[in-house]
C-alpha cells in the first residue's frame, strides 16, 4: 500500500505547488508588505510549498474518511464534498490562526473580508477552489497509469 502513496503524494505536491504559486503571486497585493520584489516572489514560492502540505492534509482526510488511497478518483460526489469541506475548514483555520494568533501576516484595505472572523476571503477561496482542479488532475494521472 505504501508503494502507491509515495509517488502519488509527490505528484500531488508538485501539482499543488504549480497551481498555488500563481494564486499566491496574484493575491500578494492584498497583504501588507508585498511589493512584487524578488523577496515577494520568494515568499510566494515558500507559501506555495506550504499550500502543497495543506493539500496533503486534504488527501489524508479523504484517506481516513474513505479508507482508500485513490478516493479522489472515485465516481460520485463524495470526493468533491470531502475536498470542499476539508479545504474550507483548513482555509478558515489556517488563516485565522496565522492572522489572529501568530500575527504572521496582515491585509491591505483591498482584501475582501469574511464576516465576523476577521480573515480574508481570497486565501479561504484558495483552499476551497484550487484543490478541485488539483485533485482532478491527480485523478487523471491515476487513471492514465492504470491503463
* 5-59 residue pLDDT tens: 788 999 999 999 999 999 999 999 999 999 889 999 999 999 999 999 999 999 9
Q: For residues 17 and 147, is the Cβ–Cβ distance under 8 A?
A: no
Model confidence band, residue 147 (pLDDT cutoffs 50, 70, 90): very low
Q: For residues 85 and 124, is the Cβ–Cβ distance under 8 A?
A: no
* Opening angle at CA 136, ends 79 and 27, nearest 5: 105
* 49-108 residue pLDDT tens: 999 999 999 999 999 999 999 999 999 999 999 999 999 999 999 999 999 999 999 999
**What's the pTM value of the predicted model, to 2 decimals?**
0.91
If DSSP states are collapsed to H, E and C, what string results for 94-144?
HHHHHHHHCCCCCECCCCCEEHHHCEEHHHHHHHHHCHHHHHHHHHHHHHH
Identify any residues that bridge with 31 across adjacent strands, giving them in sequence order: 107
The alpha carbon of 42 is separated from its chain's Cα centroid by a whole number of angstroms, namely: 18
Q: Can you tell me which residue has the cell 502543497?
A: 52
Amino acid at each position: 500500500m505504501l508503494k502507491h502513496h509515495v509517488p502519488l503524494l509527490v505528484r500531488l505536491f508538485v501539482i499543488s505547488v504549480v497551481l498555488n504559486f500563481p494564486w499566491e503571486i496574484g493575491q500578494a497585493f492584498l497583504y501588507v508588505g508585498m511589493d512584487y520584489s524578488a523577496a515577494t516572489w520568494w515568499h510566494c514560492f515558500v507559501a506555495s510549498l506550504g499550500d502543497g502540505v495543506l493539500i496533503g492534509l486534504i488527501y489524508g482526510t479523504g484517506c481516513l474518511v474513505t479508507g482508500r488511497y485513490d478516493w479522489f478518483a472515485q465516481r460520485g460526489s463524495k470526493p468533491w464534498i470531502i475536498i470542499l469541506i476539508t479545504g474550507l475548514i483548513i482555509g478558515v483555520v489556517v488563516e485565522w490562526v496565522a492572522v489572529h494568533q501568530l500575527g504572521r501576516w496582515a491585509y491591505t484595505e483591498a482584501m475582501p473580508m469574511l464576516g465576523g472572523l476577521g480573515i480574508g476571503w481570497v486565501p479561504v477561496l484558495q483552499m476551497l477552489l484550487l484543490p478541485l482542479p488539483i485533485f482532478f488532475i491527480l485523478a487523471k494521472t491515476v487513471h492514465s497509469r492504470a491503463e
